[in-house]
Amino acid sequence: MPTALPQTHLPGAIPTLNGRGFMLEALDSYATAFVAAAAAATGEVLDIGCAYGVASLAALKLGARVCACDMEPGHLAYVTEQAQAVRRGALRTVVGVLPDVNFAPQSFDAILASRVIHFLTGPDVRATLKHMHAWLKPGGQLFLVVDTPYMPGWNSIVPAYEAAKAKGEPWPGFIPDFAAVVSNRALQQPGPEFLNTLDPDILVRECAAAGFVVERASFFGLQRLGNAANGREHAGCTARKPG
């Protein structure tokens, strides 16, 4: 029986099967750039935290070889089903959780981690970026997308985030008790225990510390609605492994 997607009360955002968040159906500019890089790659690319595989499937349609990785086996079952009508022979799936999942060094031409690393603590973000640097071939690209403190639903933290950032705290957007900030009723799902909201400056800092050369970093608007509420709900970063 085909995997059925959960019903959603947020147009353009599909709840994950594990109740930790949502997958956005629209590809933002960073994910679109990953798809283009995947299509041009001669080797395999990695979509980690792929959820229902919106980026993986777009890349497969263009002939890419994709490794889709997620912590939820049901998500990967859905991607596999959908890929059968696209280019199933170019897909492999891996169940794994960051920062513990691992791949061989120099396995991938490009990596996408879209709305994934904000589920990690600061030390785990750093460990993950070092892992990704090792997994990429020389010259390979990393594409990151995260939620920021300016996202509706938890933007009440913005004054504290901005004050902490001004003081030089390394993870100023960390929300230790997510449920206390965003009600489960509003989410209509449990949500994560904590959230480490990030911004372009933090992405640049941490990518550089992991050995990447940053090519682009920016805020961008709320993809779920198709246009920006304030233009800073998400942040993205593109970086390259030297070589």
Query: 207-221: per-residue pLDDT in tens?
Result: 999 999 999 999 998
pLDDT at position 189 is 63
Tokens, residue 134: 């090792």
As a whole number of angstroms, the distance between CA 224 and CA 148 comes to 14
DSSP designation for 16: P
Sketch out the chain's domains with CATH numbers: 1-14+23-139+198-243 (3.40.50.150), 152-196 (no CATH)
Beta carbons within 8 Å of 165's beta carbon, 6+ residues apart = 172, 199, 201
Rounded to whole angstroms, how far apart are CA atoms 28 and 232?
13
pLDDT for the residue 21: 74
Would you place residue 183 in the very low, low, confident or very high pLDDT band (cuts 50, 70, 90)?
low
What is the rounded CA–CA span in Å between residue 196 and residue 175?
6
The predicted structure's pLDDT at residue 13: 74
Distance CA 231, CA 222 (A): 7
pLDDT on residue 74: 87
Looking at the DSSP bridge assignments, the partners of residue 44 are 65
Least confident of 16-25, 46-55, 78-87, 117-126: 16-25
Going from the C-alpha of 104 to that of each of 38, 81, 108, 132, the distances in angstroms are 19, 26, 9, 10
Confidence of residue 17 (pLDDT cuts 50, 70, 90): low
Reading the block at residue 65, the tokens are 């070889």
Rg, the chain, Cα only: 17
Torsion of CA 221, 223, 227, 228, to 10 degrees: -20
> Above 80 in pLDDT, residue 169?
yes
pLDDT of residue 115: 93
| Residue 130 burial class via C-beta count within 10 angstroms: exposed 0-12, middle 13-18, buried 19 and up | middle
pTM: 0.91
* Residue 37: per-residue pLDDT: 98
Whose tokens are 């690319």? That residue is: 45
Paired strand residues for 108: 136
In 3D space, the residue among 200, 55, 211 whose CA is nearest the CA of residue 131 turns out to be 211
Read off the pLDDT of residues 135-157 as tens digits, 9 standing for 90 and up.
Answer: 999 999 999 999 999 988 899 99
User: What percentage of the chain exceeds 70 in pLDDT?
Assistant: 86
